[in-house]
Amino acid sequence: MNEFDARKIEPSPYSLETHSPILLSGGSGMLGSSIARAIESQGIGLLRLTRKRKTDANSIQWSPDKSEIEAPERLNGIGAAIHLSGANISDHRWTSAYKREIWESRVRSTHVLSETLARLKHPPEVLIAASAIGFYGNRGDEILDENSPSGQGFFPDLCAAWESATQPAIDAEIRVVHLRTGIVLAREAGALQKMLRVFRLGLGGPLGNGRQWMSWITESDLVSAVLFLLKRSALSGPVNIVAPNPVTNAEFTKQLALTLHRPAFMSAPALGLRIAFGQMADEALLASARVSPTKLLNADFHFQLPTLDRALATLLQ
């Protein structure tokens, strides 16, 4: 390991200082589970929206496809809502049917929740809603911030509609923040876990020519950013949730191989990726997004793991 001591990483420095409960959707996923633990560790009550049959007094069943939320009056008085629900972008090939599922699960659920919050007698102060840097599309070496326009393609169109679905909440004067999240690096799930299976066998390598930019963030910094945004009343609209040091895919490959002490020469040709993954190859795996977390930096947010070498050293120790 380099001079950076991974053991010195501290819990999030951002406390919420509220007694009002927080509503969370998508709490069973990787990010939702981590955010839930961070909130509950501060002694704050958590209400969970679940599509499954409710399991305890803090669960509220909902069916976004039917525009139904059980006992919505229970949401009166919550301090904030965090909305992370949606079908996984990378779990399946982007067939026409799966693209419809992705769209409905993200856009429709966001609109249903936003309308419900807007109708409350005592709505929350803030809605933190998931989005993605897929909003920007494939942009080469262009440096992108929150003022950059949307790109072209299914993924940018999805993200634009996803964010627009919060309009009922905005009209009700609820502060809305869109989490334009990059590639999330975590110990036991997500993109890094999938890469490790290949890289540990010495079979890793760049995707395509490797020149596409990867904008990433560690799970711990993402959780801290969410807590930070919950209490920063001056921040609204899109916020890029990425580390301040993006890397190219080739640089990421080199650093991951170095950290694992493995070779990484087995490149994946772009044509092969397109055959295997279809449209997702061009809009996700090969797309270049060099994204800056400008709003977070201007608000003095502190990244605990701002560089890839430190991040990988910590996650893979």
Structural domain of 147: 16-315
Flag whether 11 is in a domain.
no
Flag whether 3 is in a domain.
no
* 159/180 Cα distance (integer angstroms): 9
Residue 48 confidence (pLDDT): 93
β-strand partners of 290:
143
Interval 104-132 mean pLDDT: 96
Flag whether 4 is in a domain.
no
Question: Which is it for strands 68-69 and 59-63: parallel, antiparallel or unpaired?
Answer: antiparallel
55-100 pLDDT per residue, tens: 678 889 998 888 888 889 999 999 999 999 888 887 778 899 999 9
Q: Are 166 and 226 in contact (CB under 8 A)?
A: no
Q: What is the CATH number of the domain that holds 184?
A: 3.40.50.720
Flag whether 5 is in a domain.
no
| Residue 14 in this model has a pLDDT that exceeds 80 | no
Contacts 24+ apart (CB under 8 A), 103-109: 103/158, 103/161, 104/65, 105/64, 106/130, 106/158, 106/162, 107/158, 107/161, 107/162, 107/165, 108/64, 108/65, 108/165, 109/25, 109/64, 109/83, 109/85
Backbone angles phi, psi at 177, to 5 degrees: -120, 130
Q: Are 85 and 49 in contact (CB under 8 A)?
A: yes
pTM: 0.92
Flag whether 112 is in a domain.
yes
Q: Are 304 and 221 in contact (CB under 8 A)?
A: yes
* 82/207 Cα distance (integer angstroms): 33
Flag whether 35 is in a domain.
yes
- What domain count does the chain have? 1
Flag whether 288 is in a domain.
yes
270-301 pLDDT per residue, tens: 888 888 788 888 888 899 999 999 999 999 99
Interval 230-241 mean pLDDT: 96
